[in-house]
C-alpha cells in the first residue's frame, strides 16, 4: 500500500509535468497524454495522478495539489485521506468509462 510520501511524490510529479505531458486535442476536445515529454519517469502512481489531472485539472490543481503538497502536508495527510483520494480517482475513472461507452454508441 502506498504511503503518504509516495502519494506526495506522485502528485508533485504530475503537477510539475502536466504542461508538458497533457495536451488538449483541439479537434476532439480531449486531453491526450504524451508520456515521453515528461522530464523524468513517473514515480509509482504518477501516471494515475497525471490521468486525474488531465481528466479534471480544476479539481487536481485546486484540491489535490494543495492537500498533498502544502508546507505542512506531511503532517496533515492521513491514510484515510490517501484512501479517499484513490476512491475519488476510481470513481472518476468509472464515470469516464461509462461516458466512453455511451459515446461509442
Alpha helices in the chain (DSSP H): 4-21, 46-55, 57-59, 65-69, 73-76, 79-104
Residue 99 in grid coordinates: 461516458
Tens-digit pLDDT profile for residues 8-67 = 999 999 999 999 999 999 998 889 999 999 999 999 999 999 999 999 999 999 999 998
Residues 6 or more apart in contact with residue 60 via CB below 8 angstroms: 14, 15, 49, 52, 53
For the chain, the domains span 4-104
Confidence bin at 80 (pLDDT 50/70/90): confident
Amino acid at each position: 500500500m502506498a504511503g503518504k510520501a509516495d502519494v506526495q511524490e506522485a502528485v508533485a510529479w504530475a503537477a510539475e509535468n502536466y504542461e508538458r505531458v497533457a495536451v488538449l486535442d483541439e479537434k476532439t476536445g480531449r486531453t491526450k497524454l504524451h508520456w515521453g515529454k515528461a522530464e523524468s519517469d513517473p514515480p509509482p502512481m504518477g501516471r494515475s495522478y497525471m490521468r486525474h489531472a488531465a481528466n479534471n485539472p480544476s479539481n487536481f490543481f485546486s484540491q489535490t495539489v494543495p492537500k498533498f503538497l502544502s508546507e505542512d502536508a506531511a503532517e496533515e495527510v492521513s491514510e484515510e485521506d490517501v484512501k479517499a483520494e484513490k476512491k475519488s480517482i476510481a470513481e472518476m475513472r468509472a464515470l469516464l468509462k461509462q461516458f466512453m461507452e455511451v459515446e461509442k454508441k
